């Protein structure tokens, strides 16, 4: 039998176990694109419960399960994270008000969660986390018929979950082709194994120190620490190609720099002198360096301005926190997007609030809930703009009591744009949702990114770092140049019926590269189509191509 404290420890152990292994789970991504985030999403989902359980000191297993489920629901991220939260919601329902639970209680509660997870997915697919959870539950129920011992039953559940995981490639051909097991299923096995360590041996798996998520950037942290300690304005760095004929002692350079600034570093060898100094007189520092030879590289940065920008960015982020609003208007919109350019784009299209997130950074159910509650409308239409966010968005519907929430199942940024352009303020919210959903079929989405790992997919050998392109979610092109990949992608997607092309460029693309890509598209398709260039600032994807 296990009580509330043991269940609490088991959940924490499971959370630590997946935190420790999240990167290897992320690497199980089917495509070699830099968006494998299943392990991260599941880790963040379960760790939401760890924070909530911190102050729980009761003994009722049902209470511990209830706290766990509530926190995980609000912290759920990505499809696998949502499914995991539903499984633990089943625990809460099945264990409600039960002080101590045995193996039969646990297996039955798991079954409630599995049933809820299958119902939550519009088209359940076998060979995924669903299969792993279902087969584990079925084995647990069978084992409990003969022995209700909690250790025996949970051991059976863990063993069967791993057996189910091993056959996921046989059930889902795309996994077999990629040579991996299902990432969500693996994550669930890891969580269950972490729980077993406590249930069976009384040992909590500890979190590795290097798995703790960073909360503040290095520079931001340093800037905050030395808020009032920036004595000199300019960080000056340069390298001098040393003139062998000059006999001046290097100590003279160091002494001079110390007289005009601080944080002086002078490193020299027979060929170069590398200098770092904080000063109000960068020109004087460079002039002194010229006495020793030619300047090879120079970098001068205004540290006070950098610090001011960091503080401004922090203040702006604080201002962007969602503030609850009364539902006064008839319609309102919430979109999910990553990148300042895309956020501005969706606001220009009429969205009241934009939740930061997208591929590799799925927002939680609670993030979306807060944006909905900050939207001053009786009917709020939500555009997830990513297939891995739809399920998390759907969990907000029963959470919102004072306004009607409708999820428009947009799977890509271009689909979200098209949905907004098809909104009609003269018809009902439900009719709009159908109209916007129907319009999604008319838009194609192309993505240009890079291979996060070497692999072989669809007969193509892909090296880590190669430029790859996806056409409506299918990997079709490998190239060495982002622009070449984009042009090939456009040729595949554009037809005689195409009227509009929107090219959205990301944070790692310069304006010059974007203009070059735009001009190439205009040269090939501009006579028949309307082509628009948008600065999206999105991560992960160099280019997002919308074709209508």
Which CATH architecture is the domain 444-547 placed in? 2-Layer Sandwich (3.30)
Say if residues 16 and 195 touch (Cβ distance below 8 Å): no
Q: Choose among 270, 271, 266: nearest CA to 250.
A: 266
CATH of domain 4-209: 1.25.40.340
Q: How far apart are CA 312 and CA 356, in angstroms?
A: 18
Q: How many CA atoms lie less than 13 Å away from 491 in the CB half-sphere?
A: 11
**Element containing residue 457 per DSSP (H, E):** strand 455-457
- Domain limits, CATH 3.30.1180, in the chain: 444-547
Structure tokens at 547: 């074709």
Note the pLDDT of residue 218: 30
| Segment of 31-45, 64-78, 323-337, 476-490 carrying the highest mean pLDDT | 323-337
Secondary structure (3-state) at 234:
strand
Q: What is the mean pLDDT of residues 322-336?
A: 94
Beta strands 377-383 and 404-407 are: parallel
Q: Choose among 406, 420, 242: nearest CA to 346.
A: 420
Which CATH architecture is the domain 231-308 placed in? 2-Layer Sandwich (3.30)
Q: What is the residue-averaged pLDDT of the chain?
A: 85
What Cα–Cα distance (Å) separates residue 189 from each residue in 2, 136, 138, 186, 233?
A: 20, 10, 15, 5, 53
Please report which confidence band the pLDDT of residue 213 belongs to, taking 50, 70 and 90 as the band edges.
very low
Q: What is the mean pLDDT of residues 124-153?
A: 94
Say if residues 419 and 407 touch (Cβ distance below 8 Å): no
* φ and ψ at residue 295, rounded to 5 degrees: -75, 125
Which carries the bigger pLDDT value, residue 353 or residue 316? 353
Q: How far apart are CA 63 and CA 65, in angstroms?
A: 5
Beta strands 377-383 and 329-337 are: parallel
Note the pLDDT of residue 64: 94
Least confident of 32-36, 255-259, 525-529: 32-36
Note the pLDDT of residue 229: 47
Structure tokens at 149: 């011992």
Q: Is the pLDDT of residue 318 over 50?
A: no
Structure tokens at 496: 């005689």
Say if residues 537 and 341 touch (Cβ distance below 8 Å): yes
Q: Is the pLDDT of residue 426 over 70?
A: yes
Give 347's contacts (C-beta < 8 A, 6+ positions apart).
Answer: 354
- Helix 103-120 to helix 78-94 angle (10° resolution) is 140
What Cα–Cα distance (Å) separates residue 304 from each residue in 259, 307, 424, 535?
A: 20, 5, 49, 28
Note the pLDDT of residue 130: 94
DSSP for residue 267: E
Q: Is the pLDDT of residue 233 over 50?
A: yes
How do residues 363-387 score in pLDDT, each as one tens digit? Answer: 889 999 999 999 999 999 999 999 8
Please report which confidence band the pLDDT of residue 217 belongs to, taking 50, 70 and 90 as the band edges.
very low
Q: How far apart are CA 245 and CA 9, in angstroms?
A: 71
Total Cβ atoms within 10 A of residue 177: 14
Q: Choose among 191, 143, 133, 141: nearest CA to 163.
A: 133
- Domain limits, CATH 1.25.40.340, in the chain: 4-209
Note the pLDDT of residue 481: 86
Please report which confidence band the pLDDT of residue 422 belongs to, taking 50, 70 and 90 as the band edges.
very high
Q: How far apart are CA 79 and CA 326, in angstroms?
A: 30
Least confident of 174-188, 194-208, 232-246, 534-548: 232-246
What Cα–Cα distance (Å) separates residue 519 from each residue in 478, 498, 524, 526?
A: 21, 18, 9, 9
Secondary structure (3-state) at 441:
helix
CA 543 to centroid of chain Cα atoms: 18
Give 318's contacts (C-beta < 8 A, 6+ positions apart).
Answer: none
Q: How far apart are CA 503 and CA 532, in angstroms?
A: 6
DSSP for residue 207: P
- Domain limits, CATH 3.30.70.980, in the chain: 231-308
**CATH number among 3.30.2010.20, 3.40.50.510, 3.40.50.880, 1.10.10.60, domain 320-440:** 3.40.50.510
Q: What is the mean pLDDT of residues 177-189?
A: 89
**Element containing residue 291 per DSSP (H, E):** none
Say if residues 2 and 59 touch (Cβ distance below 8 Å): no
Note the pLDDT of residue 112: 94
């Amino acid at each position: 039998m296990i009580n509330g404290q043991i269940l609490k420890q088991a959940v924490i152990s499971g959370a630590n176990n997946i935190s420790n292994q999240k990167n290897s789970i992320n690497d199980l991504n089917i495509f070699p694109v830099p968006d494998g985030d299943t392990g991260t999403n599941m880790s963040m989902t379960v760790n939401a419960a760890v924070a909530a359980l911190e102050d729980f000191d009761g003994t009722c297993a049902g209470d511990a399960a209830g706290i766990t489920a509530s926190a995980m629901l609000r912290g759920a991220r990505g499809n696998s994270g949502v499914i995991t939260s539903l499984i633990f919601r089943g625990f809460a329902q099945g264990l409600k008000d039960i002080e101590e639970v045995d193996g039969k209680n646990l297996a039955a509660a798991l079954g409630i969660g599995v049933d809820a997870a299958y119902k939550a997915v519009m088209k359940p697919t076998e060979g995924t986390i669903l299969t792993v959870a279902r087969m584990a539950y079925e084995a647990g129920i069978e084992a409990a018929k003969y022995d209700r011992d909690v250790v025996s039953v949970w051991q059976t559940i863990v063993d069967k979950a791993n057996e189910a995981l091993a056959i996921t490639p046989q059930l889902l051909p795309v996994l077999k082709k990629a040579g991996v097991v299902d990432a969500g299923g693996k994550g669930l096995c890891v969580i269950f194994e972490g729980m077993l360590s406590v249930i069976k041996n009384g040992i909590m798996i500890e979190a590795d120190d290097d798995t703790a998520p960073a909360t503040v950037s290095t520079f931001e942290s340093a800037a905050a620490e030395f808020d009032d300690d920036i004595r000199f304005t300019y960080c000056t760095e340069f390298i001098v190609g040393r003139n062998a004929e000059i006999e001046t002692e290097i100590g003279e350079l160091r002494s001079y720099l110390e007289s005009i600034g601080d944080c002086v570093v002078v490193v020299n060898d027979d060929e170069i002198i590398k200098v770092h100094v904080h000063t109000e007189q960068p020109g004087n520092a460079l002039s002194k360096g010229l006495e020793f030879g030619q300047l090879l590289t120079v970098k001068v940065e205004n540290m006070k301005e950098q610090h001011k920008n960091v503080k401004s960015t922090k203040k702006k982020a604080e201002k962007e926190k969602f503030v609850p609003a009364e539902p006064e208007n008839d319609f309102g919109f919430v979109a999910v997007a990553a990148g300042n350019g895309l956020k501005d784009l969706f606001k220009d299209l009429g969205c009241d609030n934009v939740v930061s997130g997208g591929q590799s950074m799925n927002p939680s159910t609670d993030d979306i809930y807060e944006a909905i509650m900050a939207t001053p409308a009786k009917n709020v239409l939500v555009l997830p703009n990513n297939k891995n966010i739809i399920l998390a968005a759907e969990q907000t519907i029963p959470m919102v009591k004072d306004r009607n929430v409708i999820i428009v199942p947009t799977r890509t940024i271009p689909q979200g744009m098209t949905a907004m352009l098809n909104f009609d303020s003269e018809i009902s919210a439900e009719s709009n949702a159908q109209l916007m959903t129907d319009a999604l079929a008319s838009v194609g989405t192309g993505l240009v990114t890079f291979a996060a790992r070497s692999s072989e997919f669809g007969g193509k050998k892909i090296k880590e770092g190669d430029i790859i392109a996806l056409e409506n979610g299918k990997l079709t092109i490998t190239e060495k140049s982002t622009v070449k990949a984009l042009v090939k992608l456009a040729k595949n997607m554009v037809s005689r019926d195409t009227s509009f092309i929107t090219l959205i460029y990301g944070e790692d693309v310069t304006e010059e590269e974007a203009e070059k890509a735009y001009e190439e598209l205009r040269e090939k398709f501009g006579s028949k189509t309307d082509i628009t260039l948008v600065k999206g600032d999105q991560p992960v994807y160099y280019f997002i191509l919308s074709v209508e």
